[in-house]
Amino acid sequence: DAGVIQSPRHEVTEMGQEVTLRCKPISGHDYLFWYRQTMMRGLELLIYFNNNVPIDDSGMPEDRFSAKMPNASFSTLKIQPSEPRDSAVYFCASSFRGPYNEQFFGPGTRLTVL
Amino acid sequence: DAKTTQPPSMDCAEGRAANLPCNHSTISGNEYVYWYRQIHSQGPQYIIHGLKNNETNEMASLIITEDRKSSTLILPHATLRDTAVYYCIVSRDSNYQLIWGAGTKLIIKP
């Protein structure tokens, strides 16, 4: 298996622009997570899905952030409009339903908003 | 979920065993201890987990005290590639979130 795939790996954009981050989870996994990591705040959970349904989006910072999972093999995290404080590394992770909490992370997308 | 306490940083000589401590004094009876690590610029990687008994896999060993209030992750023969931030997390099954702390930055020195 190729693991969790994220694209793009790097994104540089200007304030006010729309940014879309993409994630392909591991086939067969029931859960998909979006995290954000910064030096100041560490690793934060933004939202997670179970069987394509959003379960908890309490970590989404503002209405400017939205996430979708139209099918089991694809998810997007959108920021519109983007701001410099959104600059961070965004990770997608997936896991399967089971007795253990083992999450598999993608390589991340490094977002820079100028 | 219970919280964990880890030292912010540790050094270890290459080839020696690296012992990373973690305190989780408020752990519940049905919570596991998980260890993940994050190598620079990569996503976190699962290492090992345990409930009560000591566990060993190809990456590491996990020693959990009898009262389950603390644990130690052991990398038996540390290499330079083991330099990373190591996170100790207590959680239940896949229905629960992982709460990430600051972890321990482990530096392996030649």
Reduce the secondary structure of A7-69 to three states and give it as a string.
ECCEEEECCCCCEEEEEECCCCCCEEEEEEEECCCEEEEEEEEECCEEEECCCCCCCCEEEEE
Specify the pLDDT at position B94: 72
Q: Which residues of chain A does B34 touch, with a Cβ-Cβ cutoff of 8 Å? A: 101-102
Euclidean distance between CA atoms B29 and B52, whole angstroms: 9
Confidence grade of residue A99 (pLDDT, cut at 50, 70, 90): confident
Euclidean distance between CA atoms A79 and B73, whole angstroms: 38
Distances B13 to A63, B19, B106, B107 between C-alpha atoms, Å: 48, 11, 11, 8
Q: For the segment B44-92, what is each residue's pLDDT rounded down to a tens digit?
A: 999 999 999 899 999 999 999 999 999 999 999 999 999 999 999 999 8
The answer to whether the Cβ–Cβ distance between A106 and B32 falls below 8 Å is: no
Specify the pLDDT at position A1: 64
Q: Which residues pair with A32 in a beta bridge?
A: A49, A94
A50 vs chain B: nearest CA distance in angstroms? Answer: 9
A37 vs chain B: nearest CA distance in angstroms? Answer: 10
Average pLDDT, chain A: 94
Q: Please, what is the Cα angle at B16 between B10 and B19, to 5 degrees?
A: 45
pLDDT value at B110 more than 60: yes
CB neighbours of residue B13 within 10 Å: 11
Percent of chain A with pLDDT over 70: 99
A107 vs chain B: nearest CA distance in angstroms? Answer: 5
Confidence grade of residue B95 (pLDDT, cut at 50, 70, 90): confident
pLDDT value at A88 more than 70: yes
Instruction: Identify the CA nearest to A62 among candidates A52, A76, A77, A40.
Output: A77
pLDDT value at A16 more than 80: yes
Q: What is the mean pLDDT of residues A25-34?
A: 95
pLDDT value at B2 more than 70: no
User: Which of B42, B44, B91 is the closest to A101 by Cβ?
Assistant: B91
The enclosing H or E element of B10 equals strand B9-13
Q: What is the mean pLDDT of residues A5-9?
A: 97
- CB of B34 less than 8 A from some CB of A: yes
Specify the pLDDT at position B1: 54
Euclidean distance between CA atoms B2 and B34, whole angstroms: 12
Q: Which residues of chain B does A98 touch, with a Cβ-Cβ cutoff of 8 Å? A: 93-94
Q: Which residues of chain B does A55 touch, with a Cβ-Cβ cutoff of 8 Å? A: none
- CB of A43 less than 8 A from some CB of B: yes
- Nearest chain B residue to A42 by CA distance is B102
Confidence grade of residue A98 (pLDDT, cut at 50, 70, 90): confident
Percent of chain B with pLDDT over 70: 98
A95 vs chain B: nearest CA distance in angstroms? Answer: 7
The answer to whether the Cβ–Cβ distance between A101 and B92 falls below 8 Å is: yes
Q: Which residues of chain B does A56 touch, with a Cβ-Cβ cutoff of 8 Å? A: 97
Q: What is the mean pLDDT of residues A44-55?
A: 94
Q: What is the mean pLDDT of residues A26-44?
A: 94
